[in-house]
Amino acid sequence: MLNNILPVIRKELRSYFNSPIAYVVTVTFVLFCSIWVFYLQTFFAANTASLRSLFGIVPLTFIIIMPAITMRSWAEEKKMGTMEVLLTLPFRESTLVLGKFLAAALLLLIMVGLTLPLPLLLARFGDFDWGEVVGQYIGVLLLGCAGISVGLFVSSLATNQVSSFLVSLFVLLVFTLISQVNLVFSLPILLARVFSYLALGAHFNNFQKGLVDTRDLLFYVLVCALFLYLNVKTLVFKKW
Amino acid sequence: MIEATNLGKRYGALEAVKGVSFGIQAGEVVGLLGPNGAGKTTIMKILTCFMYPSYGTATLNGCDVFTDPLAIKGMLGYLPENAPLYTDLNVMEYLDFIADARGLVGSHKAQRIGEVIGECGLEPVVYRGINTLSKGFRQRTGLAQAIVHNPQILILDEPTSGLDPNQIIEIRQLIKRLGQEKTVILSTHILQEVEATCNRVLILNEGRIVAQGTTEQINRELRGEVILAVTVTGGRQPGSTLAGLSGVREVLKNEPAGVKPGREAGANRFQLNLSVDPDSGVEERLFDWAVAEGYRIVALVPQRLSLEELFIKLTREGGANAQ
Note whether A193 contacts B: Cβ–Cβ < 8 A.
no
Please answer yes or no on whether B100 and A7 come within 8 Å at the CB atom. Answer: yes
Write the DSSP assignment of B272-294 as a string of letters.
EEEEE-TTS-HHHHHHHHHHHHT
- What average pLDDT does the segment A107-130 reach? 90
User: What is the model's pLDDT at position B6?
Assistant: 93
| Tens-place pLDDT, residues B12-66 | 899 999 999 999 999 899 999 888 888 999 999 999 999 999 999 999 999 999 9
User: What is the model's pLDDT at position B71?
Assistant: 93
Note whether A222 contacts B: Cβ–Cβ < 8 A.
no
CA distance B182 to B188: 19
User: What is the model's pLDDT at position B223?
Assistant: 60
Instruction: Check whether B78 has a pLDDT greater than 70.
Output: yes
- In whole numbers, what is the pLDDT of chain B averaged over residues? 86
User: What is the model's pLDDT at position B322?
Assistant: 41
In sign, the C-alpha dihedral spanning A233, A239, A240, B1 is negative
Tell me which range, B139-153, B234-248, B274-288, B293-307, is most confidently predicted by mean pLDDT.
B139-153
Q: How far is the alpha carbon of A183 from chain B, nearest alpha carbon, in Å? A: 46
* Burial (0-12, 13-18, 19+ Cβ within 10 Å), B18: middle
- In whole numbers, what is the pLDDT of chain A averaged over residues? 91
Q: Which domain range does residue A217 map to?
A: 2-239
Please answer yes or no on whether A87 and B84 come within 8 Å at the CB atom. Answer: no
Q: How far is the alpha carbon of A120 from chain B, nearest alpha carbon, in Å? A: 36
If one counts the domains in chain A, the total is 1
User: What is the model's pLDDT at position B224?
Assistant: 62
Tell me which range, A31-45, B213-227, B303-317, is most confidently predicted by mean pLDDT.
A31-45
Q: Which residues of chain A make contact with B88, given a CB cutoff of 8 A?
A: 14-15, 18-19
Tell me which range, A161-170, A204-213, B191-200, B276-285, is most confidently predicted by mean pLDDT.
A161-170
Query: How much is the ipTM here?
Result: 0.89
Q: How far is the alpha carbon of A85 from chain B, nearest alpha carbon, in Å? A: 7
- What average pLDDT does the segment B165-179 reach? 89
Nearest-CB residue to B86 (from A82, A92, A240): A82
Please answer yes or no on whether B85 and A89 come within 8 Å at the CB atom. Answer: no
- Phi/psi zone of residue B309: left (φ > 0), alpha (ψ -120 to 50 degrees), beta? alpha
| Tens-place pLDDT, residues A9-63 | 999 999 999 889 899 999 999 999 989 888 888 888 877 778 888 888 899 999 9
Note whether A2 contacts B: Cβ–Cβ < 8 A.
no
User: What is the model's pLDDT at position A184?
Assistant: 84
Of A85, A61, A109, A112, give the one whose Cα is nearest residue A8: A85
Reported as type and span, the H/E element at residue B249 is strand B248-256
Instruction: Check whether B323 has a pLDDT greater than 60.
Output: no
CA distance B66 to B5: 13
Please answer yes or no on whether B78 and A81 come within 8 Å at the CB atom. Answer: no
CA distance A54 to B7: 59
User: What is the model's pLDDT at position A81?
Assistant: 92
By CA distance, what is A89's nearest residue in B?
B73
Lowest mean pLDDT: which of A10-14, A220-224, B179-183, B272-276? B272-276
Nearest-CB residue to B80 (from A8, A10, A85): A85
Q: How far is the alpha carbon of B189 from chain A, nearest alpha carbon, in Å? A: 21
Which band of pLDDT confidence, cut at 50, 70 and 90, is reported for residue B305? low
